[in-house]
Structure 1
Amino acid sequence: MNPTVSQRVTPTTAALLQWWFDPPCTQARGGLGFHDEQRRAILATITAHEALDGDAPPIERPVHRVAMTIGIDQTRVMLALLIWQLLNRTDALAAGIDDPRFTNRFLAVAHHARARDRLLGTFCGMPVPGGLGARDFGTSGLVRLAEMLIPTNRRDEVYGFVCAHVCSGAQFMRQPVREGLIAITDGRLEALECFARLPRVMVFDDETRPPLWAHSHSGVSSPAWRQHLRRIASARDELCAQVVFAQHRPGEGPALGRP
């Protein structure tokens, strides 16, 4: 890990970066680690976001754009950023600090039913045969990647949070707003209503597969709901951050940071 980066971030973030990227840690788990593009995306997002002043009201609502080569898994980046936010929020509150840069409320927007099912598999595991909708958490992507993603001493903490707080957007709309949430939702009205109700949230938005309803005769347009999302964020006092995933073809330069 770059010493300059470690000096600019919280101790919680520094510990995560060490676990994720330091050679002794990756060597100890048999070389299991991130692709270089994934590593750069995580570092760019964290560096830009933590540079915000945690002691002052947010002046802008950060939008972190992450574009990786087609074929590079963005799920690992999403999980790493969610864990980074969650553990920083937990540690700040334990120290009596309400740092507006961090949250434990997340909205994962997936425009297609299959993509939403993959997200449920990532967080909750595969469906149990005959289980009437129950899922086996031990088969989840989070558990399968835990050795790489989560320091050993914090694993149970992350597992407990995820098991207790994942829901669909429709389920969330029927519940009171609570501390801690991972809502998996579509990209239309349901997502906007979820977002509008959350007092502090990080949105993960997948642009790699445009919504079927966003096509026009001239190609794929920017869906109107995303513009509404930005307007909702700009009208609020609470910090609302967005991580927008996109793709570029091999040979094209990746786009990292804010659009």
Structure 2
Amino acid sequence: MLPDRFPLAENLTLRYIDDAHALRAGAPNALIDNVTPITAELLRWWFQQDYCDVRPLNFHDGQRDAILAIIYAHEVLGSTSLLDLYQKVALDEMLEGGLLGEVSHARNAHPKYAAKMATGTGKTWVLNALLVWQYLNRMANPGDERFTSNFLIVAPGLIVYDRLLDSFQGKRNGGEQRNFETSDIYSQRELFVPDTYRQQVFGFLQSSIVTKSDIGNKVTGSGTVAITNWHLLAGVEDPLFLDDEDTEAPGQEIDARAAAASFIPLTPGTSTGNSLDVLDRRFRRGEALQWLVDLPDLLVFNDEAHHIHTLKKGQESSEVEWQKSLSEIASTKGHHFVQIDFSATPYNESGTGKNRGKKFFPHIVVDFDLKEAMGKGLVKALALDKR
């Protein structure tokens, strides 16, 4: 049984789990009956035992549950906001647990899902599968507002950013060129994509990947997959040797002098801190942000999402700079903006001293924790949360 602090995860699991077992056995089930033909084909391909038996690699149960929970919430239930999802599956828990204020906040006024998955359990493969699900449905049903072909994938630092490029573009061939055949989706194509759709998906990825330096500049065709670390849109310097364990969300107080300086036009000059590099970075941030704001629809995948949510100070909550940018991007799209967060530790810390505690994200729809992952032999070593 899932802990009661994750009411969405518990109640969604109860709704789809019987269908998941029937799906694996190839038996009729309500889940298949209530999704699009594209989604039905993908679910059979990914999870039906007949297909799984002829592949060397398959999704494990934690990955399966993350994929099914998000597809069920978004496509079957047609969730249009976090409040809407709670009203459909966890109304009593929302009212009794004091969640109404948080759930109905403006930053949650769009479809929003979080996958709590232990480190090392393959969150990127879940991300790949969900991207394929969204893209193929958008191409088959361009008028269906539940789907998009515009994606933004956000990494917590440069190391994870580079790993995401490896996953989608393939590894480098000794230089700057990447070999797409070493990408996750291509190298594991027997898992991710039915053969009927492979050329379509491969063509989309090869033509539509946009790296952080090209966001707002590169022209793509039937959609885009923009990959960045959050520093670009937060307007801060990229740490050169920073991994996801050491990333800290920017949230320091701004003094009066800095606030006043922000209203004065910037001119180059290292003595004032306005070097050409700084000015260029701020210009690129504004250019990229405006391009994302202007998109008609967008699905954002946040990898290691605990780095980019609200920063807790005592009992108060303030948005980090990237979260502010995310809210601005969402403001023009309504429910055409979708947010999917991945994290092993999806919580904010609140209070100080003896009153210090964890406040888990309210939009967790699946919980595949470290204990369960270790029990299935997926994780061999303990990973300590350094926060």
Q: When the two structures are superposed, what TM-score results if normalisation uses the length of structure 2?
A: 0.56
Partners of 1:53 and 1:255 lie apart in 2 by: 14
- Superposed, 1:1-259 pairs within 5 Å as 1=20, 2=23, 3-30=29-56, 32-50=57-75, 51-52=77-78, 60-93=109-142, 98-130=143-175, 133-175=176-218, 179-188=222-231, 189=233, 190=285, 192-207=289-304, 210=307, 223-237=320-334, 239-248=336-345, 255-256=364-365
Contact 1:61 1:234 in 2 (8 A): no
Partners of 1:209 and 1:114 lie apart in 2 by: 16
Number of corresponding residues: 241
Partners of 2:291 and 2:61 lie apart in 1 by: 34
Query: Which piece of structure 1 moves more, 2-11 or 175-184?
Result: 175-184
Partners of 1:143 and 1:28 lie apart in 2 by: 17
Larger Rg: 2
The Cα RMSD (Å) is 3.0
Tell me the secondary structure at the aligned position of residue 127 of structure 1.
coil
* 1:166–1:206 Cα change, 3 Å: same
Contact 1:200 1:239 in 2 (8 A): yes
Q: Tell me the CA shift for residue 215 of structure 1.
A: 8.3
Tell me the secondary structure at the aligned position of residue 116 of structure 2.
strand
Contact 1:68 1:247 in 2 (8 A): yes
Task: Could you list the structure 1 runs, at least 4 aligned residues long, displaced by more than 6 angstroms after superposition.
Answer: 214-218
- Residue-by-residue CA offset, 1:155-190 (whole Å, 9 max, x unaligned): 111111100100113312224575310001121424
- Residue-by-residue CA offset, 1:24-65 (whole Å, 9 max, x unaligned): 0101224x21111110000000011112289xxx99510111
Higher RCO structure (Cα 8 Å, ≥6 apart)? 1
Contact 1:199 1:238 in 2 (8 A): no
* 1:207–1:173 Cα change, 3 Å: same
Contact 1:169 1:185 in 2 (8 A): yes
Q: Tell me the CA shift for residue 89 of structure 1.
A: 0.6
* 1:173–1:12 Cα change, 3 Å: same
For structure 2, the residue ranges without an aligned partner over 5 or more in a row are 1-19, 24-28, 86-108, 234-284, 347-362, 367-387
Contact 1:33 1:148 in 2 (8 A): yes
Tell me the secondary structure at the aligned position of residue 66 of structure 1.
strand
For structure 1, the residue ranges without an aligned partner over 5 or more in a row are none
- Residue-by-residue CA offset, 1:206-237 (whole Å, 9 max, x unaligned): 135726xx98998xx86232144135414435
The one-letter code matched in structure 1 to 2:48 is D
The one-letter code matched in structure 2 to 1:149 is F
Partners of 2:306 and 2:116 lie apart in 1 by: 13
